[in-house]
A and B are shown apart, each in its own frame.
Chain A
């Protein structure tokens, strides 16, 4: 382990002997004081050195090293084979015996024996087991291993980018910040160990297609509590239904086309309110908590509380077709038949902006949960991206050859699923390029799509719901083979995955169906963000905190981390203005001034010569650089010209 055993049995070098003897004596004394039995001692020693040297355990060629005291650091190993006779003999005779009665610390010992063996092939000095005062070894010596894979998820810095050239003070600050960031991500990854729940799954037995598994089979196979999550509400009278789960996934609101509005705690099946608004209901949405409910009715937008009492009638939002709520900005986004996208701040009750999309009737809307950008689908096949801070769309994506019927964005903000009148279902990459990743023609075309928290994609086609799954949380669903299918008793009118439960809610013309979709939801919720089990007090507390950190609507943009970046443009502008004001650049490098040297070398001529030399060198460097730049430019221009880009390039897979 630490020292190689001496091959021969010959005594140690003479000058070492007395010292070594003393050491051994001290070691024996120490162990005696600690009350360890001789056999235990020998055994512990045997295994310790045996693990490193690769010799059979009972061979007796043991190297005794001076025991580590707690007040000492890493002591240099004692001279190899410097042990005198008697103790070694003892060890040898005792060693091969099977462990007798476990006198001292039986359980502990057995564990100790197993653990330190793991890293034996890489004898790392840092991971050397250390003896503590009690004589027990640290079973996990050294720093805990860093989970590299897990830490990547939490990493907020782009390590591929090199640090900018800056002054030493700034640079050291940046480096410290980076190191802290890395440490934080490692710690967060380590803390993942404490997560209690595992995600659900559904696997077919050798070659069985999971899509052929019926809901009744799933319900029959799972435990009673989960089976109770599957239910059908048969509400044919007020037909087709829209539905919405609250952010904690605990409450469900449903609105029928013929005016039926209800809110219930769907887990306990406790009804909160049920009313008929005597008007067509276009859409229904919970606001930040389950206590408030926005209903888009035929004429205007109404807000009800969870008792069904009408709180507000917002006449500035008229003929609303779809509702979306941006929970961190407290904005209710509505799109209307008149073609307006209106943002209503529900914390102060003011309309933030009303944007005219100039694309006719708006009835397809989705929000990107990653950056709170609203995606609108239009009848000309484009999807436009909107932020309340900008009057024009942030981007327009041509997605389909016919009108867009449905849009959905996944929780990481990476993928967008669209379906159109051309019967296509497409998945787009939203990270900058807006290119389609995969597409599939469906026999009927999907009228509604929805993403789950773990990236499953559900699409409602007529009275059938198909669900596709991907490889993991941050991967796009593969459209080759559906994960689950289900046929309902009516045409689908609304789809949403329930947050934090493996359930897909489907509103259709026959009522509401709650489907079981194993593996769709995030198993471990964060108690400070969305806690399904929160008490009333906790909800109130959370509401105050959430309102205090309400993000201003102007900060909505495509990259939500842009606020933490350096604003290079305005910095350069400021610098330019400063130079103009001062008449010189205060940060410019001062011209070289040769230092005066002793012994007559600082004559004027030699000073000038030295100055000239440095200036020449600088000039030469500058010329070299500009030449290199020119060459690079030349190479870029002489690249073979690509074929003319076509508008259809984006559809190439």
Chain B
């Protein structure tokens, strides 16, 4: 007879002293871990609930402006520095870690229409209603010195926007036409226009740095190449576009914030169909800015909220609002992709977390591991109705909520009418036009 009994030595399973950590032998045999899927599902449900519990995105409000904040700019080298221009011509430079204003300049008479920093971070440019372009030093004046611009360019017309080239000492302004300036000269090196309308914003492409795009109030978006004297092509939409923003990771993609409550992501090689139509706002979209990862962007709207959209989704992932925040005019996503700033009508700049439930500060490795695990679980079970309902739930102000309901009814009525028309007319005479194609009027080359 040969016999062996299972006989464990307790010393192998119990810690020696109280100073040691407990021993935890593992065995991954599935029969020892029954109900794998239901337990993971419950964990995913708990993780989703906790995410909503910890969703506290609002971080700080920077007050100090004496009029609505009209434009914001990020510092290219320093994460803590932010510049803002107000409707009374004042420019403020903020320190985000201290949440204090470090410098105030009375830059223009009337609105500060646009502000941008030079790529090296030593100076910045502002344009205002007083038909001037001013270049300022980033550092404050020394003791006894006057606060004065480095250069001032007097123009003939009002400038409504400015953007600096990402590598070269050149910048572009817009107004009646798009002007491209050399920093050393007082006259534009080239002026381009297509039609006679006021252009509201101009943006350089961060990858293909010679490309730039602008949008004008005659409902078009025009693309230019700095190296040639004429514009490249334009696309005409249903309504006016307020701003565009280039995707920092994909050279050909840009997103346009439109007056018809939607945002449109275009591929500049095929302008006739937008890549994606992003809808969720219930009023005109005023500004848009991409995350440095190029995967998401944030939009500011006249409906007193900001929304975060994934680039490839048509619905927003997140909506931020507060009781006191009025029409949001400008928005920026910080360069570390963790925070969002928005400037609004009621003179405040607000700082938000980009990921509402993220824990700030240094995480321990166990916290990180738990976080990753929960993230994966949420991803795995995201389509289950309970999980989906909890993850999607957002509280909205009554005005936005009721407007969403109203617009849903309107959309439904429009759809029904079209369906009825199709039903009662000759087959093929009322074609089915996709949502993406609907809003593009024309593409001109």
Contacts and interface: CB of A to CB of B under 8 A. Distances in A.
Nearest to B8: A197
B5 A226 contact: yes
B34 interface: yes
Interface stretch (B9-17, B75-83, B234-242, B269-277): B9-17
Interface residues of A, number: 72
B27 A195 contact: yes
A70 interface: no
Contacts of A226: 5-7
B46 A502 contact: no
A535 interface: yes
A225 B7 contact: yes
B22 A196 contact: no
Given A201-B3, A560-B35, A154 B30 contact: yes
Contact of B46 (A156, A201, A369, A548): A548
B37 A563 contact: yes
Q: Is the interface of A mostly helix, strand, loop or mixed?
A: loop
B14 A533 contact: yes
B185 interface: no
B12 A196 contact: yes
B41 interface: yes
Contact of B28 (A191, A561, A583): A191
Interface stretch (A237-245, A276-284, A298-306, A549-557): A549-557
Interface in B382-433: 384, 415, 419, 422-423, 432
Interface string A512-539: 0000101001111111111111010110
B33 interface: yes
A359 interface: no
Contacts of B144: none
Contacts of B38: 328, 551, 555, 560, 563
Nearest to B15: A535
B37 A529 contact: no
Interface string B26-49: 111111111111110111001000
A526 B34 contact: no
Given A549-B43, A563-B37, A518 B422 contact: no
A223 B37 CA distance: 41
Contacts of A564: 37
Given A226-B7, A549-B46, A201 B2 contact: yes
A551 B5 contact: no
Given A202-B3, A522-B32, A196 B25 contact: yes
Contact of B422 (A210, A371, A533, A583): A583
B1 interface: yes
A203 B1 contact: yes
Contacts of B423: 583
A412 interface: yes
Contact of A525 (B10, B32, B35, B46): B32
Given A197-B6, A549-B39, A583-B419, A525 B25 contact: yes
B27 A524 contact: yes
Contacts of A523: 6
B263 to A, nearest CB: 22
Contacts of A526: 25-29, 32-33
B53 interface: no
Interface string A295-333: 000000000000000000000000000000000100000
Interface of B: 1-8, 10, 12-14, 22-39, 41-43, 46, 384, 415, 419, 422-423, 432
11 contacts: A204-B1, A222-B4, A222-B5, A369-B34, A533-B13, A533-B23, A537-B22, A549-B46, A560-B37, A561-B37, A583-B423
Minimum-distance CB pairs A-B, first 5: A527-B24, A226-B5, A533-B13, A583-B419, A524-B27
Interface of A: 153-154, 156, 188, 191-192, 195-205, 208, 210, 213, 217-218, 221-223, 225-226, 229, 328, 369-372, 411-412, 453, 473, 500-502, 516, 518, 521-533, 535, 537-538, 548-552, 555, 560-564, 582-584
